Amino acid sequence: MTSRRDFLLGGAALLATVGSMTDVVARESVTAIGAVYATKSKLLLRMHIPDHDDELDRVHIGPGESMMRVPIEVFRSGNHLVVQDFIGKPTISGVCEVIHKETGEVINRIIADPELYSDPDGHYVVLVDETV
Model confidence over 79-121: pLDDT tens digits?
Answer: 899 999 999 999 999 999 999 999 999 999 999 999 999 999 9
124-129: strand order across its sheet? 106-111, 95-99, 124-129
Candidates 38, 111, 49; CA nearest to 79 is 49
The pLDDT mean for the chain works out to: 84
pLDDT of residue 1: 39
